Amino acid sequence: MRGVVFDGKRAEVVDDLVVRDPGAGEVLVAVAAAGLCHSDLSVVDGTIPFPVPVVLGHEGAGVVAAVGSGVTHVIPGDHVALSTLANCGACAECDRGRPTMCRQAIGRPQRPFTRAGSPVYQFAANSAFAERTVVKAVQAVRIPKDIPLTSAALIGCGVLTGVGAVLNRARVGYGESVVVIGTGGVGLNVLQGARIAGALRIVAVDANPAKEAVARRFGATDFLTSTDGVREVLPTGADHVFECVGRVELIRTAIELLDRHGQAVLLGVPHATAEASFVVSSLFLDKSILGCRYGASRPQRDVALYAELYRAGRLLLDELVTRTYPVEDFEKAAADAEAGRVARGVLTFREGC
Would you place residue 169 in the very low, low, confident or very high pLDDT band (cuts 50, 70, 90)?
A: very high
Q: What average pLDDT does range 283-292 have in this prediction?
A: 96
In sequence order, the 6+-apart residues with CB closer than 8 A to the CB of 325 are: 332, 333, 345, 346, 347, 348
pLDDT for position 353: 53
CA distance 312 to 5: 37
Q: What average pLDDT does range 82-111 have in this prediction?
A: 92
Q: What average pLDDT does range 6-22 have in this prediction?
A: 96
pLDDT for position 106: 78
pLDDT for position 178: 98
pLDDT for position 47: 86
CA distance 188 to 201: 15
pLDDT for position 351: 60
Please report which helix (H) or strand (E) contains residue 29, including its range: strand 26-36
pLDDT for position 108: 81
pLDDT at 41 over 70: yes
pLDDT at 352 over 60: no
pLDDT for position 83: 96
pTM: 0.94
The DSSP-derived string for 81-120 is EEPS----SSSHHHHTT-GGG-GGGSS-----EEETTEEE
With CA atoms as reference, report the closest residue to 331 among 350, 347, 349. 347
* Residues of the chain by 3-state class (helix, strand, coil), percent to 5: 35, 25, 40
